[in-house]
């Protein structure tokens, strides 16, 4: 009997220890891990990095759309490469209005073709996309992080799902928080990932309402700095649908903390940028990184990218590994 009691006690002790260890263990998604291809395709990450570095060296403005491509993939059906698929009827995610300014799909194609020569049928397009996003930031001297791999590719793409799931530049803070929470991301992730607006461009149609008709009375957004608004009006006439605008003027090719300073000065380009000042938690993080000598933004960005990269992933036998990223097998 004494031996039985000791056995039971040991069992419960081990269960408690196991639970405690799980609390402090880094969270992950079953099937994803850093170095997933180390044995099956050991050169996979180097191959992807080569194509990204060559492309971004030739055209540094590619960094932002490559980062945004991964973000737009993950928020629609999860990180499973649906943004890469093309349909004959054009009803795919690529043709949704928020995705029309994405660029760099040929980089994904070229990297995937090289991977298929090196190790056919092993590396998924969704993992290529995750690696490309990280390598594009490194190529711009931005943050780096360890990318979990092991995703498989989805079989479906739908233009309406992109319209429903992608955060809008017109969103207020409540809508943004709700959308991010629906994907398992918190307020810190929201402001950190918004910091990706330190690179790249927006376009006039995304801010026309802020400049000319914010409340339907021919007025401008009162949360927009008046001098900045006047400068934007010189560049964007009410009917302008094409002019590109630097998200982070003077620094739009450099990944840094300057975005947070601009937003704090009411010079964020989008309504969704300005909205970060309307919540105490997002505002606190933003202001902390305006004049900080000990910024954690790069580290935090990597953490949030890993977290985002786990949204709705397909692993194991789910989905497939596409041979070409623009079509299912």
Binding positions: 73, 76, 78, 82, 93, 167, 197-198, 248, 256
Binding positions for heme b: 197
What is the SS3 string spanning 42-91? CCHHHHHHHHHHHHHHHCHHHHHHHHHHHHHHHCCCCCCCHHHCCCCCCC
Binding positions for Ca(2+): 73, 76, 78, 82, 93, 198, 248, 256
Give burial (CB, 10 Å; 0-12/13-18/19+) of 119: middle
Nearby residues of 228 by Cβ (< 8 Å), 6 or more positions away:
266, 267
105-109 LR contacts (CB < 8 Å, sep 24+) = 105/69, 105/325, 105/326, 107/51, 107/52, 107/55, 107/62, 107/66, 107/132, 108/69, 108/84, 108/132, 108/325, 109/324, 109/325, 109/326
- Which of 72, 201, 203, 289 is catalytic? The answer is 72
Residue 203 known to be catalytic: no
- The DSSP symbol for 153 reads B
Give burial (CB, 10 Å; 0-12/13-18/19+) of 254: middle
Q: Which residues are known catalytic residues? A: 72
């Amino acid at each position: 009997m004494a031996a039985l009691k000791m056995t039971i006690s040991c069992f419960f002790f081990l269960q408690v220890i196991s639970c405690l260890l799980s609390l402090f263990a880094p969270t992950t998604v079953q099937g994803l891990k850093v170095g997933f291809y180390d044995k099956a395709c050991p050169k996979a990450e180097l191959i992807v990095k080569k194509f990204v570095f060559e492309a971004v060296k030739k055209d540094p403005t590619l960094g932002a759309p490559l980062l945004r491509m991964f973000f737009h993939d993950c928020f629609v059906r999860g990180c499973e490469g649906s943004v890469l698929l093309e349909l004959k009827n054009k009803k795919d995610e690529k043709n949704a209005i928020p995705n029309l300014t994405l660029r760099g799909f040929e980089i994904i194609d070229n990297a995937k073709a090289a991977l298929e020569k090196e190790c056919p049928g092993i590396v998924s397009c969704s993992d290529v996309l995750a690696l490309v996003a990280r390598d594009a930031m490194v190529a711009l001297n931005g943050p780096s992080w360890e990318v979990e791999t092991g995703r498989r590719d989805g079989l479906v793409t739908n233009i309406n799902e992109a319209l429903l799931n992608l955060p809008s530049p017109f969103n207020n803070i409540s809508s943004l928080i709700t959308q991010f929470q629906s994907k398992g991301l918190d307020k810190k992730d929201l402001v950190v990932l918004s910091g990706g607006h330190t690179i790249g461009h927006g376009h006039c149609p995304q801010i026309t309402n802020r400049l000319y008709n914010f409340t339907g009375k021919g007025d401008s957004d009162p949360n927009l700095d008046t001098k900045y608004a006047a400068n934007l009006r010189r560049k964007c006439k009410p009917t302008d649908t094409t002019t590109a605008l630097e998200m982070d003027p003077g620094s739009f090719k450099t990944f840094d903390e300057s975005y947070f300073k601009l937003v704090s000065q009411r010079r964020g380009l989008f309504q969704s940028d300005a909205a970060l000042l309307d919540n105490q938690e997002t505002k606190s993080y933003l202001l902390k990184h305006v004049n900080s000598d000990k910024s954690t933004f790069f580290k935090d960005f990597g953490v949030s990218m890993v977290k985002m990269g786990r949204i709705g992933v397909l692993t194991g036998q789910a989905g497939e590994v596409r041979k070409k990223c623009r079509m299912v097998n």
